Amino acid sequence: MNPQHYVYVGVDLHKQHHTAVIIDCWNKKLGEIKFDNKPNAFPSFTKEIKKHLTKEMKVVYGLEDVGGYGRALAVYLTENGCWVKEVNAKLANARRKSHVTVQKSDSWDAENVARVLRDELPFLPDAKPIDLYWAISQLVNQRRWVAKHLSGQVKRLHQQLGYHYPSYKKFFSEVDGKTALAFWWKYPSPHQLKDVTTEQLTVFLRKLSNNGLSTKKAIQIKELIDADGDTLRDFQDQRDFIVQSLVRDIRSSERNLTRVENEIRELMGQLGFRLETMTGIDLVTAAELVAEIGDIHRFANADKLARFAGIAPIMVGSGNKSRNYKSKQGNRELHDIIKALAIRQIAVTRTKREPRNSYFHAYYEQKLAAGKTKQQAIVCIMRKLVNIIHFLMRTKAAYVIPNVPNSHAG
């Protein structure tokens, strides 16, 4: 692949319009094009690009965001046989900041995308905006938003219950569990329980918990309420309404979360991956990995995936000395997912205190014994996980924990 046979088109992407800058292999700016972000404007854009090509030359496009504002353009280009690369935004931003005078404009941003495209072409993943992966990505983002919203609602419920029931945390194991929510809905404050006998409360709790809670729990709740003292205040009905409103919203969010996860499960089933066979990976984590990685065949080997995730170290040298530094580039969402997964590998069970993944636990201890810090040892695990994830996604195989050598066992 001779760089002189290509022109490089970097595109700065926006909701309403895009800006593209064309450079040659010597970083000379050949032209600039502004066009609307809508499918009927894309043919004119590619036609303009062709004006800068000679007979022997080819074009490669670089897009920062192929899953958001740039998806429509990425789909059009790939469907028309164009070569499209995904340029990490951190790379382009670092290139822009490396200049003595830092500029900020659509044109300059697009040119820096083009410069990264030219210099990093062999290492950048191909953009393959496949609808299935995009739909999973959208569902993962939706689930993340719903889960965050639900967490905020539960936090507000805690606040309100603290006013009404100072000892509310001792009532149930989970404040937002099925039985607990039914209780807060029917009895949003103690004065609603004023005329309720212990026997009546017992029947109510027993029915909700499928006979899991009995008279003992009813007596405990009554005693805790008496010990707290009188919390009745003016405008109590309005404050009760707030509690019931939060309960209603929490139930609605939980149903929504379940529906989103069911949709994710259905789409993930079409891919045939078996990522959930690995320790620490559930449906949500598997979907998050797929959403960030996309088509695994974009990465010819695990090294390229590690670079994409910002896990591959950066070599920095001067004179006869050199040192590896942790990369702060790459896809940070994917980096954080793999880091959380690495931490789960070295966790131990609560009951038997046994490693959840004996192989990685032994590997972690081995790295610590070799003088690595805990953080460095986790990075080593992350790099191994990239190899495993790459293999599992390419082969659709199930994960099997490797045997631990006797020297590391126990």
**Residues 160 and 246 sit within 8 Å (Cβ to Cβ):** yes
Phi, psi of 265 (to 5 degrees): -60, -40
Longest C-alpha distance within the chain, in Å?
90
How much is the average pLDDT of 304-313?
88
pLDDT at position 299, please?
Answer: 92
- Block residue for tokens 């920095």: 316
Question: Does residue 54 surpass a pLDDT of 90?
Answer: no
pLDDT at 326 over 80: no
pLDDT above 90 (res 314): no
Q: Check residues 165 and 407 and name the one with the higher pLDDT.
A: 165
| Band of pLDDT at residue 101, cut at 50, 70 and 90 | low
Q: What is the DSSP string of 42-78?
A: HHHHHHHHHTT--TT-EEEEEES-TTTTTHHHHHHHH
Q: For the chain, what is the radius of gyration of the CA atoms?
A: 28
Q: How far apart are CA 362 and CA 178, in angstroms?
A: 40
Strands (E), 114-233: none
Q: Write down the mean pLDDT value for the chain.
A: 90
Q: Is 306 helix (H, G, I), strand (E, B) or coil?
A: helix
Residue with token string 């899991």:
212
The reported pLDDT for the residue numbered 317 is 47
Segment 236-248 shows an average pLDDT of 96
Q: Which two tokens stand for residue 217?
A: 């729990």
The candidate with the shortest Cα–Cα distance to 341, out of 400, 286, 260, is: 286
- pLDDT over 90 for what percent of the chain? 75
Condensed to tens digits (0 to 9), the pLDDT of residues 177-226 reads 999 999 999 999 999 998 899 999 999 999 888 888 889 999 999 999 99
Query: Per-residue pLDDT averaged across 228-254, rounded?
Result: 95
Q: Which amino acid is at 405?
A: P
Alpha-carbon distance of 58 to 176, in angstroms, equals: 59
| Token pair recorded at residue 315 | 């070599």
The predicted-structure confidence for 1-31, as pLDDT tens digits, reads as follows 676 789 999 999 999 999 999 999 898 999 9
Q: Where are the alpha helices (DSSP H) in 272-373?
A: 283-293, 302-308, 332-345, 358-369
CA distance 282 to 286: 6
Beta bridge partners of 19: 12, 34
In the beta sheet, which residues pair with residue 314?
325
What the chain holds in terms of domains, given with CATH numbers, is 3-129 (3.30.420.40), 134-268 (1.10.287.4070), 272-395 (no CATH)
For residue 315, the model assigns a pLDDT of: 54
- Closest of 344, 230, 232 to residue 279, by C-alpha: 344
60: closest CA among 106, 107, 125, 104?
Answer: 125
The alpha carbon dihedral of 208, 209, 210, 212 has a sign of negative
Task: With a cut of 70, say whether residue 320 has pLDDT above it.
Answer: no
321-325 and 17-23 beta bridge pairing = unpaired
| Mean pLDDT confidence for 336-347 | 96
Task: Pick 369 or 406 by higher pLDDT.
Answer: 369
